Amino acid sequence: MKRFLIPIIITSFYACSNPQKKESNEQSIQEKTAIDSLTNTETVNELNFKEFSGQAVLIGEEIELLDKNLKTIENTSYLTGKIVNIKSISDSLFNNSEDICQAFWYVKIETENIKGIVNGRQVFEIQNSNQDSSFTIDSNHIEILTTDFLGMGVDYEGDLMGCPVDQPILIRDAKNNYFGLVDLIQNEYSKQASWDNEYPFFEIRSDDGCYDKIESISVVGNEIRLKIHRSWQEGVNDFDVLLTFVDNKYKAEYLNFGERKYDY
């Protein structure tokens, strides 16, 4: 049985901090300024879009597909996990609440048989694979791709907003003709890694809570093992995640979640 070890380095652009920290006065001012600059969805008179070229995966219990007048074409759950093309993104942020973290961009999406506008909080742009993990095993090319959703997140126009974000990955597997999300098997370690948030998909995090860097990838048979180093504001830890392809679907399972090493 062959075994491969592939070192991976991914560049971080966020500084990590305690995810449970209280808002500072400065952040409250930033959020108030951002709220004042948003457009309420109930008062939209004209929607302007900027052209954009990219791909995304849709995620949501119910995804509302809208026409150009923001009227519902259909409200469905079957679009979850669907890979779509992004055609354009609204030039303004919108919100229908006073919670800045609920703000979003409208996104025009398109596939062979689907065309419409969706709430950007349900649109996860697929990032360039050159910034992530790409490797070949026995002539099978595999890519691990990160995502970035099109709603208010960690920062906005240079200001730290600190809004919680989901960051599911996708796997593109040429041999198995697979391109999609990775289901997460819930266990005690996954709960520790996500602060008890039982998100259904595996994530590689890069936000104001922590930063995950894939240190290495080892492959034995049809199993892929990720060794991940996590950086917190106050320390670091390491853990292993097992990826398997079963029933035409990738699944991830945390094998451990190492003890945090604090900097004093």
- Tell me the C-alpha distance between 54 and 134, whole Å: 19
Pairing of strands 235-246, 133-137: unpaired
- Tell me the C-alpha distance between 239 and 227, whole Å: 6
In which domain, by residue range, is 214 found? 3-262
Cα dist. 18→71, 101, 113, 117, 232 in Å?
40, 18, 44, 35, 7
pLDDT by position in tens, the chain (length 264) = 444 444 443 333 344 444 444 444 444 444 445 555 565 655 555 789 999 999 999 999 999 999 999 999 998 889 999 999 999 999 999 998 889 999 999 999 999 888 999 999 999 999 875 545 788 878 888 999 999 999 998 878 778 888 889 999 999 999 999 999 999 999 999 999 998 899 999 999 988 788 999 999 998 888 999 999 999 888 999 999 999 999 999 999 999 999 999 876
The amino acid present at 143, given as its one-letter code, is E
Q: How many CB atoms lie within 10 A of CB 136?
A: 12
Number of domains, the chain: 1
CB 244 within 8 A of CB 185: no
Q: Hey, is 102 helix, strand or coil?
A: helix
Task: Check: pTM over 0.85? Answer yes or no.
Answer: no
Q: How much is the pLDDT for 136?
A: 82
